[in-house]
Structure 1
Amino acid sequence: MSETPPGNLLLALQNPELYNHPVDGFQIIETHISQVILTGQYAYKIKKPMNFGFLDFSTLAHRKHFCEEELRLNRRLAEPLYLDVLPITGTPQQPVIGGEGEPFEYVLKMRQFRQDQLFDHLQETDALKPELLCSLARQVAAFHDNLEPIPDDKPLGTPEAVYDAMQENFDQIRPMIDDNHLLRQLDNLEAWTRTTFERHRELIAKRRKSGSVRECHGDLHLANITVYDGKVTVFDCIEFNEPFRWIDVINDLAFLLMDLESRREPALANLILNTYLEYRDDFEALPLLPLYKAYRALVRAKIALFTLSNPVLAEQEKEELMQRYRNYAQLAEDYSHIPNPYLLATVGLSASGKTCVSAVMAGELGLIRLRSDVERKRLHGLAPLEDSQSPTGENLYSAEANEKTYDRLAKLASDLLAAGLPVIADSACLKVRERALFASVAESQGVPFALIHCEAPEELRKAWIRERKSDASEATEALLEAQKGWFEPLTAEESTYTAHLHTDQEHVAEAVADRIRQHFGLPPG
């Protein structure tokens, strides 16, 4: 049997005299597992005495433990928000928060934040700015990097556990739908999941063995991210179920990407992914993304069906939930489509707009972006924004370092293309040898290839260099001068597969993205 706290406790807690701080008024937020009392400056969260199997708050000891877990886990990313676990003593009619005596309940004390700063609200009001997402991606990358890998003796994150979680979706969804079209779709998704999992079983096992399974957030989506005190803050991770959070880091990220894509924000999802990869060298994980994103979409689809069983719902609410199921199931099906990889590579002198163009094109076309400025520093143990203090043509920019950088870009591009992912290499490619390297990669993988030649007036390029900040590029005006003698003009053959962009003109990247779609026979954006 579960312990049930008295029903009048919530009412009794709405007394300003119980709190050691000013109270602006009371507002209650209720979910199926908790109740949150908003007071203006602080929020107090009480766990309901529920047992759903995957979640057990049925005893006071369990609720205390999971309040403490919620505090511990969320302080990793949101320390300013998560303050303390406090006992509730006294009686349900006259409770005391943080008092002496035998507790009959526990409450998690948090700082209250503005609801209109939640990322889901910002997205719905077209206020989710790219700089917020870049900050989020960097934060998630650092978070994943700093987590301890799963101990060998902890039986979580294995290929079997990964597949069981995916199979559970199908087993639970199937009895809740009776539409033949939806059942056929579910059967096809189940078959695709099984064959895709088997194809990647060894990679899943390898990543666990190499430490990629970690104690992650587990519930990384827009409604659990806010701007607090001017900083992007991720909160409300999974505290109640270890298998839900001891997962591959790319599975953690997949939820955020899927959430953005379900909201028809593929360019923002692409920005998150490429920024994350700049700060975390985890290109190896990318073949698993479609599988994990489809899994996350089907979890959301399943929740819609679970909610549909509520007997008090109106007909319109039921129709909306059924449509939500269809939307998520369709998104999962979209992830199962056969990929159409191709390779693009930029060409141009420093500060000619290559980075801006490649970023826009990556968002427009869903490309993985490889940046020479980032990978060059990674080869030397530097973060993207660290200053190498290398003179022009020396150290990181010597001929030897340059060759190693292009070899790395080519190797990464080859691996990603082999996994079915389209790629854009953002680099100067001033030498015929460097451009030929990418052409040979595309040829060996049997995919289309194009060069994107970026040009801009010299004075404008100098101005852009002077204005540039918070970027991996270390180009200087001295480098611009030196590059004039390094650039080897495009050959006649190269010109046949080169698009020329004058980057001082507006919307050129979007225009060339449309040309690429048409040239390679891609679906419209």
Structure 2
Amino acid sequence: MPAAITHTVEMKLHISAAVAADRTLVTALRERLQSDTGQPVSLVETHISWVLLTSKLAYKLKKPVALGFVDFRSLAARKHFCEEEVRLNRRLAPSLYVGVVPICGTTQAPHLGDGEPMDFAVCMRRFPEDALLCSLLPAGRLQEGQLEQFAQRLAVFHEKAQMAAPDSTFGTPAQVGRPVVDALARLRAGGGARCPSDLQAWVFEQKRALRTAWLERQRHGAVRECHGDLHLANVVLLDGRLTAFDCIEFDPSLRWIDVMSDVAFLTMDLKAHGRADLAFRFLDAYLQHSGDYAGVPVLRFYEVYRALVRPLVCRLRARTGADACLPSEPDYLACAAELARTAHGTPRLMITYGLSGSGKSTMAAALLAPAGAIRIRSDVERKRLFGLGVQQRSADRHAEIYSQEATRRTFARLAECARTALQAGYPVIVDAAFLRRDERLAFRALAAELRVPFSILHCRAAEAQLRRRVAARDAEGSDASEATLAVLERQLATYEPLGRDECAFALEVATDDPVDVASLGARWLARSH
């Protein structure tokens, strides 16, 4: 037998023996915990870990395995990666991760605490399994606003996360493209469902087309130390807030990634589970708080990549004897194919038009899901230009922020973001008052330049309704808009109505009563001019 094969066989036998020994340890530790607590302790097994669940705590032990992407065979490695797991996950879930605990004693009689460690475990607060986002969704227990609030916290996390060094290989075209091609090859080699040939062709075409974008993303600090594994089963409702946990600790290249790769995992998983509406709400909230519209062109590629990896993880779990994948696991390969198929959809541009309180932002937000659109808000981008947060009041800087020059810069920013998203193949909604004809004409010209259909969403409501809405919103202070009753009165006196030439592009909606959003969306998407 050749030496290389002999070495491989011996290594596999060594790993199998180590796993068997540690399985004995886990069984004995489970019995010890049951004896100590007087309550049942359950065991959950993945392809790289065992998790012992007591009534209040969870103890996660790493298997002594080497699977190519992980190598936990040595005690030092398991200790190191337990510590890394706690350090990294405390960035997003500090209250969930208690710490690293040593496992002492013997394999047959282990205990937690003092002594010479023979292994280590990550100790966490236990949470109910039905608190996971993958359980909340089908049960209808996700409350309005929770996903948007999570998107905001993720944007803040990404902003504070450490950037990859300029000379790093993280986020380079070679590093981004290689795992996607590898995933395709492994899916082909593994048998079962075949990767559609057009999906493979799309991946290779995108590798070429996005090369410059990836280089720009890396150069401008978009590659950071992220979560890396942000699917629905790694987000939990904890103390009333959605919280991400169980990030990638074992491979820096899977964690030091473009922030859009993090976002894409969750948007893909929501789409795969039939909740594209929530995917676009999450994306909209993330983009508003991050301003990272430059990342939209690479989003779809990362979504496809994430969808290709999920079947491989399920296959690996089954091969390594871990707990089987859930019966409700969606068809991720079909999701990847659909994402690639619709990547070059029908981009189109819509601008909103209406007085403050007419429902422009409400209608724009409602159209995101049926249209699969990207929204850009003038109220948000204006504040971003001056370093203010989405809901931060401008206070004594009001005159500066709402000057003519600030307005010019704001609309230039809106046009830049709209151009980027349109060229990436997405429908775009620019959410602004657009009460001046020259502002509307500039975006009509942009649509003509890019040869995409152009529409004006004309929102109107009775003046008494406008005043009620503006006063209530101003008093609440929870929206990006800072329009007051005085602002509304000025608008009523100075706005420029749509010209006859513009009416051909208008979709008019009265928002005093509920609006049939599905019908409105269908009317918009049916337009070809």
- Which residue in 1 is equivalent to 2:30? 14
- Where does the alignment leave 5 or more consecutive residues of structure 2 unmatched? 1-13
Please state whether the residue corresponding to 1:294 is helix, strand or coil. helix
The alpha-carbon deviation at position 102 of structure 1 amounts to 1.4
- Which residue in 2 is equivalent to 1:453? 458
Out of 150, 157, 164, the residue aligned to residue 143 of structure 1 is 157
Out of 247, 268, 271, the residue aligned to residue 258 of structure 1 is 268
The alpha-carbon deviation at position 168 of structure 1 amounts to 0.4
Q: What do the CA deviations read for 1:493-514 (whole angstroms, capped 9, x no partner)?
A: 1111111111122134333112
Tell whether 2:80 aligns with 1:65.
yes
Go from structure 1 to structure 2 and tell me whether the alpha carbon gap of 1:91 and 1:356 turns closer, same or farther (over 3 Å shift).
same
- Which residue in 2 is equivalent to 1:416? 421
Equivalences, count? 510
The alpha-carbon deviation at position 18 of structure 1 amounts to 8.3
- Where does the alignment leave 5 or more consecutive residues of structure 1 unmatched? none
Go from structure 1 to structure 2 and tell me whether the alpha carbon gap of 1:407 and 1:72 turns closer, same or farther (over 3 Å shift).
same
**Superposition RMSD in Å:** 2.5
- Which residue in 1 is equivalent to 2:110? 95
The alpha-carbon deviation at position 389 of structure 1 amounts to 1.5
Matches of 2:344 and 2:370, distance apart in 1? 19
Matches of 1:320 and 1:142, distance apart in 2? 32
Out of 328, 331, 334, the residue aligned to residue 341 of structure 2 is 334
Out of 171, 186, 191, the residue aligned to residue 172 of structure 1 is 186
Q: What do the CA deviations read for 1:27-65 (whole angstroms, capped 9, x no partner)?
A: 222212111111111111111111111111112111111
Please state whether the residue corresponding to 2:387 is helix, strand or coil. coil
Please state whether the residue corresponding to 1:471 is helix, strand or coil. coil
The alpha-carbon deviation at position 368 of structure 1 amounts to 0.7
> Matches of residues 108-187 of structure 1 in structure 2 within 5 Å?
108-177=122-191, 182=194, 185=196, 187=197
Matches of 1:30 and 1:58, distance apart in 2? 17
Please state whether the residue corresponding to 2:482 is helix, strand or coil. coil
Out of 475, 479, 496, the residue aligned to residue 488 of structure 1 is 496
> Matches of residues 432-447 of structure 1 in structure 2 within 5 Å?
432-447=437-452
Out of 20, 39, 64, the residue aligned to residue 54 of structure 2 is 39
Tell whether 2:240 aligns with 1:240.
no
Tell whether 2:387 aligns with 1:381.
yes
Go from structure 1 to structure 2 and tell me whether the alpha carbon gap of 1:171 and 1:471 turns closer, same or farther (over 3 Å shift).
same
The one-letter amino acid paired with 1:368 is I
Out of 496, 500, 511, the residue aligned to residue 508 of structure 2 is 500
The one-letter amino acid paired with 1:91 is T
- Which residue in 1 is equivalent to 2:230? 220
Structure 1 segments (4+ residues) deviating >4 Å: 15-20, 304-314, 317-321
Matches of 1:418 and 1:166, distance apart in 2? 23
| Partners of 2:65 and 2:71 within 8 A in 1 | yes
> Matches of residues 275-354 of structure 1 in structure 2 within 5 Å?
275-306=285-316, 324=331, 326-335=333-342, 337-354=343-360
Matches of 1:406 and 1:329, distance apart in 2? 35
Go from structure 1 to structure 2 and tell me whether the alpha carbon gap of 1:390 and 1:266 turns closer, same or farther (over 3 Å shift).
farther
The one-letter amino acid paired with 2:505 is Y
Matches of 1:339 and 1:152, distance apart in 2? 34
Go from structure 1 to structure 2 and tell me whether the alpha carbon gap of 1:294 and 1:441 turns closer, same or farther (over 3 Å shift).
same
Out of 98, 104, 111, the residue aligned to residue 83 of structure 1 is 98
Q: TM-score, normalised by structure 2?
A: 0.90
Please state whether the residue corresponding to 1:378 is helix, strand or coil. helix
The alpha-carbon deviation at position 353 of structure 1 amounts to 0.6
Matches of 1:156 and 1:402, distance apart in 2? 38
- Which residue in 2 is equivalent to 1:472? 480
Q: What do the CA deviations read for 1:111-142 (whole angstroms, capped 9, x no partner)?
A: 11121111110111122234111011101111
Q: What do the CA deviations read for 1:370-412 (whole angstroms, capped 9, x no partner)?
A: 10100110111111111002688x3322233222222221222
Q: Which moved more, 1:351-360 or 1:478-487?
A: 478-487
Matches of 2:334 and 2:186, distance apart in 1? 18
The one-letter amino acid paired with 1:375 is E
Go from structure 1 to structure 2 and tell me whether the alpha carbon gap of 1:308 and 1:19 turns closer, same or farther (over 3 Å shift).
closer
| Partners of 2:47 and 2:320 within 8 A in 1 | no
Q: What do the CA deviations read for 1:424-470 (whole angstroms, capped 9, x no partner)?
A: 01110111111111111111111110101111122222222233242
Go from structure 1 to structure 2 and tell me whether the alpha carbon gap of 1:396 and 1:111 turns closer, same or farther (over 3 Å shift).
same
Go from structure 1 to structure 2 and tell me whether the alpha carbon gap of 1:33 and 1:260 turns closer, same or farther (over 3 Å shift).
same
Matches of 1:257 and 1:207, distance apart in 2? 20
Q: Which moved more, 1:121-130 or 1:59-68?
A: 121-130
Go from structure 1 to structure 2 and tell me whether the alpha carbon gap of 1:358 and 1:319 turns closer, same or farther (over 3 Å shift).
closer
Tell whether 2:111 aligns with 1:104.
no
| Partners of 2:50 and 2:61 within 8 A in 1 | yes
| Partners of 2:44 and 2:323 within 8 A in 1 | no
Q: Which moved more, 1:404-413 or 1:191-200?
A: 404-413
> Matches of residues 188-227 of structure 1 in structure 2 within 5 Å?
188-227=198-237
Q: What do the CA deviations read for 1:471-524 (whole angstroms, capped 9, x no partner)?
A: 101111121111111211111111111111111221343331121123349xxx
Go from structure 1 to structure 2 and tell me whether the alpha carbon gap of 1:214 and 1:515 turns closer, same or farther (over 3 Å shift).
same
Go from structure 1 to structure 2 and tell me whether the alpha carbon gap of 1:24 and 1:474 turns closer, same or farther (over 3 Å shift).
farther
The one-letter amino acid paired with 2:63 is K
Q: TM-score, normalised by structure 1?
A: 0.91
Matches of 2:326 and 2:521, distance apart in 1? 40
The one-letter amino acid paired with 2:141 is A
Q: What do the CA deviations read for 1:136-158 (whole angstroms, capped 9, x no partner)?
A: 11011111111111124543322
Matches of 2:120 and 2:382, distance apart in 1? 52
Matches of 2:65 and 2:192, distance apart in 1? 30
Q: How high is the sequence identity, in percent, across the aligned residues?
A: 39
The alpha-carbon deviation at position 299 of structure 1 amounts to 0.9
Go from structure 1 to structure 2 and tell me whether the alpha carbon gap of 1:18 and 1:68 turns closer, same or farther (over 3 Å shift).
farther
The one-letter amino acid paired with 2:381 is E
Go from structure 1 to structure 2 and tell me whether the alpha carbon gap of 1:129 and 1:12 turns closer, same or farther (over 3 Å shift).
same
- Which residue in 1 is equivalent to 2:410? 405
Matches of 2:211 and 2:323, distance apart in 1? 41
| Partners of 1:294 and 1:331 within 8 A in 2 | no
| Partners of 1:344 and 1:424 within 8 A in 2 | yes
Q: What do the CA deviations read for 1:174-212 (whole angstroms, capped 9, x no partner)?
A: 122367xx35x1x32222111111111011112112221
